[in-house]
Structure 1
Amino acid sequence: MKTIKLLFLALMLISLSSCTIYDNDVEGEVDLVYSSTITIRANDFVSQDEYVSVANYGWDNLDAEMVDYGLVLGYIRFEGTTAWHALPYSIPFENDLVNLRYSFDVDNISLVLEGEVADNNQANEALFDGDVLRVIAIPPSEIIRTKAIDYRNYDQIKELYNIE
């Protein structure tokens, strides 16, 4: 019995020592976070080759510090639904696997659409026609770092950063 108590005590000490507690020093509302939505149209995309199409959206809300050290998050909501999905996102479509990802710089955000079947660009582009892209930019000074945050979970980020 004494061995079981000692084992239990040792396990408790190990579990307590493996926890990390973060102080994120965030007080009040965060008002520096930028959020924007874009309705995606099939004709926004330009074919780059037989597999890849890119849609460029002008965007002048970032500076070099934000690009280098901030967080820029992308989410997609499919037309007729209410759920947001984090990018990159993969979806099987017409005997193809379509990957949607994003890239950004100071003055542009791009959606990159890549299929695995050659010359399927037009069908893949039509797949996202009418869907909504949401971009959230969080400056380095406002990033909350803790193991409890899942930045792929749009609802959690919306609540945490008070995004409407």
Structure 2
Amino acid sequence: MKAIKFTLILAGLFIISSCTVYENDIEADVDLVYSSTITIRANDFIHEDEFVSVASYGWDNLDEYMVDQGLVMGYLRFEGTTAWQALPFSVPYENDLVNLRYSFDVEDFSLIIEGEVADNNNANVALFDRDVLRVIAIPPSEIVRSKGMDYRNYEMVAEYYGLDP
């Protein structure tokens, strides 16, 4: 019995010691982190149906790899405030619950407003008129580099990546 335990221990040590460990070269130059700030206007939105309105903001500086493997985040700062709110989020407004979310692809970043009350679109988009939208795209190599980052905390993200507050 002792011989079997000894053989299993030796086999386990051999297996562990024969593994190859690869190190990521995260000390290399920092890949470009994309950041853009957009002032939202109520007339940016097109009503898709009685509940949803969408504003599309085109871009041409992200490639498919960045969109598929990187991290794209949206943050909102209400007019007259200094705090950034990570998207998506919900806010109660005029007897409605308004959900603000986003979608993106290689050519477009869309801000989507969805209310729970039919035909309340104009009031809902007016809620975000003149607020500021910040879009940040982080390449995959930088996501690995910042493991453990709370990406919903804009201040932490801005400080880590050296972005303007």
Fold match by TM threshold 0.5: yes
Closer/same/farther in 2, CA of residues 163 and 26 from structure 1, 3 Å limit: farther
1:142 alignment counterpart:
142
String of CA shifts for 1:23-81, please: whole Å, max 9, x gaps.
98644873500100000000000000000000001111211101110000100000000
1:51 alignment counterpart:
51
Give the length in aligned residue pairs. 141
Q: Give the Cα separation in 2 of the matches to 1:97 and 1:70.
A: 31
> 1:145: Cα distance to partner?
4.4
Q: Give the Cα separation in 2 of the matches to 1:26 and 1:40.
A: 36
Question: Structure 1 residue 63 and structure 2 residue 52: aligned?
Answer: no
TM-score, scaled to structure 1? 0.81
2:115 alignment counterpart:
115
Q: Give the Cα separation in 1 of the matches to 2:160 and 2:131.
A: 24
Q: Which segments of structure 1 move beyond 3 Å, counting only runs of 4 or more? A: 23-31
* Letter paired with 2:120: N
Q: Give the Cα separation in 1 of the matches to 2:79 and 2:132.
A: 7
Structure 1 window deviating more from structure 2 (70-79 vs 136-145): it is: 136-145
Structure 1 window deviating more from structure 2 (60-69 vs 42-51): it is: 60-69
* Letter paired with 2:46: V
**Unmatched 5+ residue regions in structure 1?**
1-22
CA contact (8 A) 2:31 2:142 kept: no
Identical aligned residues as a percent: 72
Q: Give the Cα separation in 1 of the matches to 2:109 and 2:24.
A: 28
Q: Give the Cα separation in 1 of the matches to 2:91 and 2:28.
A: 39
Closer/same/farther in 2, CA of residues 26 and 158 from structure 1, 3 Å limit: farther
- 1:3-152 to structure 2, matched below 5 A, reads 26-27=26-27, 30=30, 32-143=32-143, 144-147=145-148, 149-152=149-152
SS at match of 1:68: helix
TM-score, scaled to structure 2? 0.80
CA contact (8 A) 2:31 2:139 kept: no
* Letter paired with 1:115: G
Higher Cα Rg, which structure: 2
